[in-house]
Chains A and B, each alone.
Chain A
């Protein structure tokens, strides 16, 4: 039973740790499917986390915090759009810039406004999103097997967790069942076709980036208002990049994205769980190796040893009308 409980606990933290990855990964999916590379997911998450925690603690409202997280994150996404859509700048350069501006400004503004060394004040009840206990969760907790799965794994997460997982079918539906999705996929493959069909390439791509901004905002809010009770500097700690890796791993598909993020989340959870304790057969594994494992795996995946990821054809290329 100990092993079973340990597994449930690891899976539970897998879910918690995959949520920010999943939100950021789906965020990236909207922009990359529209033909805009976005390595600025990290930065947008970070400003989202900061804005969310800051607003929540000032206005004493989790919802206002979430709203602010989304607003600021979208604003950063629009900067990316301004550079890469309107001015046809290099999308990678623009993404790098956004990550820097986010990293610097959250610290500077955090310090200036709250004087806690770049932290925001700890969020109290009502200022953060609390866990939702599902009906009957406590009652069944002691039922063998099903009890813990229901009580720990399914019940007891914050609303943002459920939202993140609901975003997976929703994103699929948007992409493949709506007019917006059809156009979004088209503009990532052949913007000229969209242009000659009388649809504005720029406005379409801007809308895709707004979706990206909304989702990275929620991802950031999750970090600072659910996983942690406040903003800590650099709290995204590379999650934006892992999300990007997951997106490639998922071959730009929503359901795959969920599995990729769960895998990376699981690796993270296992690393924390196993910290310092020896594994059977392998023996003691350095913590740093476990931490580096998602990156190593991604490189192996990228090397094409497990299938080939073909990105949207117009990705990364600014659209220029040709005569």
Chain B
């Protein structure tokens, strides 16, 4: 019988009134790849942060290698041979790979020896695990996949026997993800233990030996991967069968409402993120843009909504041109009937410090309905907010409550209510259900389809393939700033996945 690398007994952790982990028990076998799945907010990351000493459990016991362990800081975790690759990389962008690797693990007070030692050690790791990275490269100049490799190297350099990866494929293309999985298998063969946190069931099935499912802070089940199915795991994750598909009728596409021609957008560093893109969205249809995060979707949305200036290209709204390379700003586009639900509601779509009613006019604050001369018409604004609260079932139903006190799903509803109730001709939505609970997802999807059925042109960008497939009438796939294909909603995940990876060939199987 294989030995347990990690045992967790009765772990509890609360943040204020939120119980992130409740009475968690878990055993991870040495030399295996152990998956932990659960929805956003199920408590996976918190649990792993406790294991890595980033947080401390309120109660419970951790045993590492059979011995009780007290992990108060990441240092304790590192000393016990636990390494972690965070979802958001913990790298110093303008440091070299070597500097990042030795940070915190320097052998003595001067850097010279540490650097020399790290250089030879990186050489060895490269040979053993195929983890090749130029040790002198500056991290911010590396592609994301390589940055992640630096994170893994950091952990191995510190002698990690147990490697925790938190949502490692969120930012990777399928090809990069495959490469990562190869590395993980190699690590397993060398006797290391890997803990993989994800909400993507396909990955779990593809690579893990054992899988544990978390739901609302509790550990609901642990299964041998071979003996379970995606359906069973999905049900365990959500707790009830969800309709993966929202009922919808045939689209009745009408006139072209939004037409984008040869649009090119660069990011702040001057890197071309949207490269000569053209497409159309018609009244009464939902066009979904699929793609791995970071392939230009965000910049595309920002350009179309007027937030980011485009380098070149033309865009027509209702047949009339808008100058996205020059004077157009979000306010003007809004006036012309283009509503935008941004990807980042915490910093862009909402002002969290505002009262709910103040956010319900954001962007429409110069609408005469909400004004009396230069003054705000407070009564009109609050009445209007109350109407939307009722209509969109926003909870708690208090329009004077600070927006930060609403849950993610309700915050998203505040934004959606604001944008949809303006009766726009074109609605563009970035990540409609990111960080939103299951109940609200269904509500939001239904609303989007209702918009379509009212004859609006809807453009949805999402990294969730399920969501794209369930909502869209047409699917555009973005890769490296270009649209690499257009497909119908019945296209298989596998095919879309290949397109998202930039593989144009259609027949290849998984």
Contacts and interface: CB of A to CB of B under 8 A. Distances in A.
Interface residues on A, range: 20 to 34
B35 to A, nearest CB: 21
Interface in A163-190: 176-183, 185-186, 189-190
Contacts of B86: 196
B46 A178 contact: no
A178 B74 contact: no
Contacts of A321: 54-55
A321 B49 CA distance: 11
Nearest to A313: B93
B114 interface: yes
Contacts of B242: none
Max chain B CB contacts within 10 Å: which of A179, A313, A323? A179
B45 A194 contact: no
A304 interface: no
A323 B73 CA distance: 15
A21 B74 CA distance: 40
Specify the main secondary structure of chain A where it touches its partner. Answer: helix
B59 interface: no
A40 to B, nearest CB: 26
B54 A198 contact: no
Max chain B CB contacts within 10 Å: which of A181, A192, A198? A198
A192 B93 CA distance: 12
Nearest to B108: A179
Nearest to A173: B110
A255 B74 CA distance: 36
Contact of B78 (A180, A198, A200): A198
Interface stretch (B97-105, B177-185, B401-409): B97-105
Interface in B80-128: 84, 86, 88, 90-95, 99-100, 102-106, 108-112, 114
A194 B102 CA distance: 11
A186 B54 contact: no
A245 B130 CA distance: 48
Contacts of B325: none
Nearest to B83: A196
Interface in B33-56: 45-46, 49, 52-55
Contact of B90 (A176, A193, A313): A193
A323 B49 contact: yes
Given A192-B90, A198-B74, A179 B95 contact: no
Given A180-B109, A182-B111, A196-B74, A190 B91 contact: yes
A200 B93 CA distance: 19
Given A186-B92, A321-B54, A193 B103 contact: yes
B9 interface: no
A177 B93 contact: no
A179 B46 contact: no
A194 B77 CA distance: 15
Contacts of A179: 106, 108-111, 114
Given A178-B111, A179-B108, A182-B103, A190 B45 contact: no
A178 B102 CA distance: 12
Nearest to B15: A323
A196 B46 contact: no
Interface in A288-323: 313, 321, 323
A199 B55 CA distance: 15
A175 to B, nearest CB: 11
Contact of B103 (A176, A177, A197, A323): A197
A243 to B, nearest CB: 24
B105 A197 contact: yes
Contacts of A194: 103-104
Nearest to B99: A182
A195 interface: yes
Nearest to A189: B92
Contacts, number: 79
A196 B48 CA distance: 13
A166 to B, nearest CB: 19
Contacts of B88: 192
A178 B110 contact: yes
Interface in B319-376: none
A197 to B, nearest CB: 3
B272 interface: no
A189 B93 contact: yes
A177 B110 contact: yes
A204 to B, nearest CB: 10
B160 to A, nearest CB: 12
Given A189-B93, A198-B74, A183 B110 contact: no
Contacts of B84: 196
B31 to A, nearest CB: 25
A88 B46 CA distance: 23
Given A177-B112, A321-B54, A197 B93 contact: no
Contacts of A196: 52, 54, 74, 84, 86, 90
Interface in B286-344: none
Nearest to B46: A323
A237 B394 CA distance: 57
B70 interface: no
B25 interface: no
B75 interface: yes
A200 to B, nearest CB: 8
A190 B73 contact: no
B159 to A, nearest CB: 13
Contacts of A178: 109-111
A28 to B, nearest CB: 20
B100 A193 contact: yes
B104 A199 contact: yes
B51 to A, nearest CB: 13
A189 B88 CA distance: 15
A196 B73 CA distance: 9
B111 A197 contact: no
A196 B74 CA distance: 6
Contacts of A186: 92, 95, 99, 103
Max chain A CB contacts within 10 Å: which of B88, B90, B99? B90
Interface in B1-51: 15, 45-46, 49
Interface in A182-228: 182-183, 185-186, 189-190, 192-200
Contacts of B94: 189
Contacts of A183: 103-104
Nearest to A199: B104
Contact of A197 (B74, B109, B114): B74
Nearest to B109: A179
B5 to A, nearest CB: 20
A268 B4 CA distance: 71
Given A177-B111, A179-B109, A195-B74, A190 B93 contact: yes
A317 to B, nearest CB: 14
Contacts of B93: 189-190, 313
A197 B90 contact: yes
Max chain B CB contacts within 10 Å: which of A182, A313, A323? A182
24 contacts: A179-B106, A179-B108, A179-B110, A179-B114, A180-B109, A182-B99, A183-B104, A185-B92, A185-B95, A186-B92, A186-B99, A189-B93, A190-B90, A190-B93, A193-B100, A193-B103, A195-B90, A196-B54, A196-B86, A197-B104, A197-B154, A198-B75, A199-B103, A321-B54
Interface of A: 176-183, 185-186, 189-190, 192-200, 313, 321, 323
User: Can you list the 9 inter-chain pairs with the closest CB atoms, starting with the nearest?
Assistant: A197-B104, A198-B75, A198-B74, A193-B90, A179-B106, A196-B90, A186-B92, A189-B92, A190-B92
